[in-house]
Amino acid sequence: METNGIAAIITGGASGLGGATARMLAAKGVKVTIFDLNAEVGKATAAEIGGRFLSVDVADDDAVAAAVADAQAHHGIARVLVNCAGIAPVMRIVAKDGSPHSLELFGKAVRVNLIGTFNCIAKFSAALVAAGMEGEEAGVIVNTASVAAYDGQIGQAAYAATKGGVVGMTLPIARDLAQHRIRVITIAPGIFLTPMLLGLPQAAQDSLGTQVPHPSRLGRPEEYAQLVESIIANPMLNGEVIRLDGAIRMPPR
């Protein structure tokens, strides 16, 4: 797909993987709308790239529908959706004090990571289909899972379950949207330098990086964005989950 002049929506686009993707697409002439709840950083990123910021709860049915309509009104029909919004709760099934895993926290992870991803896919796709785009390709959807979908660690039951859900719905959604010429691909990143990891001491970051076989370091958000660029450019990439992890397989803890 030729990117120059088209519109895109990036959820979780204020910073991290989404922020790097927003910058990459804007540099290629894409009109970017960022969906995020971090208004301060989101507005700054949007201003930096000449894009648009909208405060959106991705799991809110009405809010996402309104935001997709707003993005379309300002930038035209979005033909690319990159879902990066997500949370990464950590909690054991039974805590040291004997209390069980919080059902509220598990539900919140499902709501944001899985329902939120699905909600944005559905609203984006409906608007794109209604626009009646012509040509071999109408649009591309890129979702973000995690290696935790396959190698979930202790304390990651909620996170791994939601990312496993994103992996599991990739192929059926790709098959469903094929009739509308919309491709669907999921990236499963390993350990990346996101805002959460950047808050750790340098020694801890270095220790995590040594767990990666090659290259033996933490992934850079720009490398995630580079894969998004390749996915958009290659029309035969569809219905697949791509691990972007330097060959790491996470240990139990």
Look at the alpha carbons of 13, 17, 22, 25 in this order and tell me if their dihedral is positive or negative: negative
Mention every residue, 6+ apart, whose C-beta is less than 8 A from residue 33: 7, 8, 9, 10, 51, 52, 53, 54, 67, 70, 71, 74, 75, 78
- With cut-offs at 50, 70 and 90, classify the pLDDT of residue 63: very high
**Res 205: pLDDT:** 81
State the CATH number of the domain containing residue 33. Answer: 3.40.50.720
Mean pLDDT of the chain: 95
**Res 134: pLDDT:** 86
Say if 206 falls within a structural domain. Answer: no
pLDDT at 11 over 90: yes
Average pLDDT, integer, range 20-45: 97
Pairing of strands 241-244, 139-144: unpaired
pLDDT at 213 over 90: yes
Say if 38 falls within a structural domain. Answer: yes
Q: If we measure between CA atoms, which residue out of 45, 80, 132, 109 comes closest to residue 68? A: 80
Taking CA atoms, 214 is separated from 143, 204, 210, in Å, by 24, 18, 9
Choose, from 118, 124, 159, 192, the residue flagged as catalytic: 159
Which amino acid is present at 182?
I
Say if 84 falls within a structural domain. Answer: yes
What is the domain extent for residue 232?
Answer: 7-192+220-243
**Res 166: pLDDT:** 98
Say if 81 falls within a structural domain. Answer: yes
Say if 114 falls within a structural domain. Answer: yes
Q: Say how far apart CA 128 and CA 94 lie, in whole Å.
A: 45
Say if 212 falls within a structural domain. Answer: no
Say if 252 falls within a structural domain. Answer: no
Average pLDDT, integer, range 82-103: 95
Radius of gyration of the chain (CA): 18
E strand segments, 88-210: 139-144, 182-189
Contact 28, 3 (CB under 8 A): yes
Global confidence as pTM: 0.95
**In the sheet that 78-83 helps form, which strands lie side by side, from edge to edge?**
52-55, 31-36, 7-11, 78-83, 139-144, 182-189, 241-244
The total number of structural domains that make up the chain: 1
pLDDT at 203 over 90: no
Pairing of strands 7-11, 78-83: parallel
Q: Is residue 159 annotated as part of the catalytic site, yes or no?
A: yes
Say if 209 falls within a structural domain. Answer: no
Rounded (10°) angle between helices 16-27 and 221-233: 50
